[in-house]
Structure 1
């Protein structure tokens, strides 16, 4: 039995090109490189606080920046995995990390309640600067994660955008936190955690169009 050749199938087959498989390791290296460059940029522009190495940082300073780092890593891990969706993939880690990091603004809120004038305590002359710097420090990591997902096939652009926003701003705020010597609960819990909330909102509503394939 002779089969009639289909020119359309032959044309489609001729246009096929080999594609390099996405590996989790490559995504992790890309994000790690973005974070390293960001930290170097913080050192060049503002200088990393030398009090950290001298043991002058308070325990809350280490805890706050550590929580942001854990949250950023958990969310970035989820984003990298979203590029190659598989049956049974779960993304619960960032949710638990977000709940854990929520201790920061909660602690700041409780601390402000103890002040006679809580509104006055919000008037932090360095607050907006740290917020803006944390957002700026997230740009390179966000770009790396967006680039990675655009090479893959995320099945939920809105969830992917949320995790990108959280990962980038958490890692960016932690990176810039190395240059900020202010270690009060209210400052770290409000102005260093605020970029993560802003990043989550931006990621959910602004990034999905960039991630659809």
Structure 2
């Protein structure tokens, strides 16, 4: 077969690419990973107690909203990164907004409390459990998210890995919030925010190795 004939044959068999396929795959992966993380937390650590006041419910919803917003924004940008050439920087800054919001609220909370209470507000009762649990629970969601990204064709592997880690950290923080009884904005800013950032950094380090074609 001549080269021109081969090109013609191949071109007639090209099917249109569904640009939404990547987004659907990542969305499904996030949903499944979230369900798995929540199940792991509720079975392994148990649901939180002490939800007998409006304030307790408000803090629970705030922690869930923070983690869910981070996860959703990161997953949306990760969908763009998963496509060839999807390494544009614009749009990524929206992921920072939830962190800025919770840090601002934490600073207001500290400013309105006596300095003698600050240490307790930051460390809470379970800072070590939070520090360990969120990164550990994030391992499986990270692996699932990286698998979904590998099915596409990312070109900026480090950035894609970082956002996969950010998604996994957000999912894990969302699940851990269903167990955590520390209702302090500084605690959320430091330990939830800090562990999510750790997951992001781990993803950035592992991305080039795990996503290499």
**Does the C-alpha gap of structure 1 residues 185 and 119 become closer, same or farther in structure 2, counting only changes over 3 Å?**
closer
Corresponding residue number in structure 2 for 1:17: none
Q: TM-score w.r.t. structure 1 length?
A: 0.78
Once residues 94 and 176 of structure 1 are traced to their aligned partners in structure 2, the CA distance between those partners, rounded to angstroms, is 25
Inter-CA distance 56–200: structure 2 relative to 1 (3 Å threshold) = same
Tell me the residue number matched to 2:97.
99
- Matched with 1:191 is 191
Higher-helix-fraction structure: 2
1:16 alignment partner in structure 2: none
Equivalent in the alignment of 1:145: 145
Query: What is the DSSP-based 3-state SS (H/G/I as helix, E as strand, rest coil) of the residue aligned with 1:180?
Result: coil
Is 1:48–1:178's contact at 8 Å kept on the other side of the alignment? yes
Number of aligned pairs?
Answer: 202
Distance 2:2 2:95 in 1: 58
Taking a change above 3 Å as real, the CA distance of residues 115 and 94 of structure 1, as seen in their structure-2 partners, is farther
Per-residue deviation, 1:81:
3.6
List per-residue Cα deviations over 1:82-101 (Å, max 9, x = no partner): 333368x8664442132232
How many Å separate the matches in 2 of 1:146 and 1:53?
Answer: 39
1:82 aligns with 2:81: yes
Counterpart-to-counterpart distance in 2, 1:64 and 1:27: 23
Q: 4+ residue runs of structure 1 moved beyond 6 angstroms?
A: none
Q: Give unmatched runs, 5+ long, in structure 2.
A: 11-16
Aligned position for 2:205: 205
Q: What residue in structure 1 maps to residue 61 of structure 2?
A: 62
Once the two structures are TM-superposed, the CA of residue 133 in structure 1 deviates from its matched residue by 0.9
Separation in 2 of the partners of 1:3 and 1:25?
40
Partner of 1:126 in structure 2? 126
